[in-house]
Amino acid sequence: MGKLRRPEAMIFDMDGTLFRSETLVLPAFRRTFERLCEEGLHAGGMPPERLILGSLGMLLAHIWERVLPDASPEVRRRADELFLECELEGLAAGGGELYEGVGETLGELNRRGVRLFVASNGLEAYVRQVAAAKGLSGLFEGIYSAGEYATRTKAELVRLLMERHGLEYAWMVGDRSSDVQAGKENGIPVIGCRYAGFGDIRELKGADALIGDFREILGLYEQARA
């Protein structure tokens, strides 16, 4: 692997990269399943947490396929609605945490002239509200979500983002195989984040560099060739 070239922009995944999503998502899932049971749409309680944690970062439709495999399309749509409500309620109440050093590191990259973007498989309202609630919105030139643009893959979403903003060379930063694929299909390096704790390190096979702490991204930037 050759030395990375300094990018004009960085494109970040949200869950498991910037946002410690399990701190918000697990309580939201519990409440969602409670409400599904109350409405007579589900029996048996919440699926195992490991199944939910292993699904974080996927498109929401794929998450419901895993955690509600026998549910009808109508029940999955209702789960979508309830889950978003519960997430937004949690954020409004101050729930959820960023990984250590995220705000400071993004701020420093911004001061150095790096253009910052988000590309997430999440729903638009959720992704934008996380950024707003955690004081990050002003640092990003663009916040892109599969929910807003109805893209089928992260690679499609990143391609759209790069075209709209005229990006020729950026780094893709994320924790899932979809992030690796997005970088590779768009011809840009991938920085794999291995600190989330709920992913499989094998998902990051093919990444150009790995970091165990978000703050390490600044060191990679400083070491990259101009």
Average pLDDT over residues 139-165: 96
Question: How far is 129 from 87, CA to CA, in rounded Å?
Answer: 9
> Helix, strand, coil % (nearest 5) of the chain?
50, 15, 35
Question: What is the residue extent of each domain of the chain?
Answer: 9-21+97-223, 22-92
**pLDDT-derived band at 4, boundaries 50, 70, 90:** very high
Q: Which tens digit of pLDDT belongs to each residue from 44-82?
A: 778 888 888 888 777 788 889 998 999 999 999 999 899
Extended strands (E) in the chain: 9-12, 19-20, 97-98, 115-120, 142-145, 170-174, 190-193, 209-211
Cβ burial 174-184 (10 Å sphere, 16+ → b, else e): bbbbbbbbbbb
Nearest alpha carbon to residue 14 among 104, 130, 125 = 130
For the stretch 158-197, pLDDT in tens is 999 999 999 999 999 999 999 999 999 999 999 999 998 7
What is the spatial distance between Cα 127 and Cα 140, in angstroms, rounded to a whole number? 12
pLDDT score at 108 = 98
Q: State residue 144 phi and psi, 5-degree precision.
A: -115, 135
Q: Is 141 exposed, middle or buried, given 0-12, 13-18 or 19+ CB atoms closer than 10 A?
A: middle
CA neighbor of 17 nearest in space, from 162, 178, 187, 151: 178
Share of the chain above pLDDT 70, in %: 98
Q: Tell me how many degrees the CA angle 146-6-114 measures, rounded to the nearest 5.
A: 55
C-alpha to C-alpha distance for 127 and 124, rounded to whole angstroms? 5
In Å, how far from its chain's centre is CA 70? 26
Alpha-carbon Rg for the chain, nearest whole angstrom, is 17
As beta bridge partners, residue 171 has 10
CA distance 18 to 101: 9
Q: Are 4 and 171 in contact (CB under 8 A)?
A: yes
What pLDDT is recorded for position 85?
A: 95
- pLDDT of the residue at 1: 42
Report CA dihedral (90, 43, 46, 58) to the nearest 10 degrees: -80
Class of domain 9-21+97-223: alpha beta
Strands 190-193 and 170-174, by their bridges, are parallel
* Alpha-carbon distances, residue 128 vs 14, 89, 146 (angstroms): 10, 14, 12
Per-residue model confidence (pLDDT) at position 2: 53
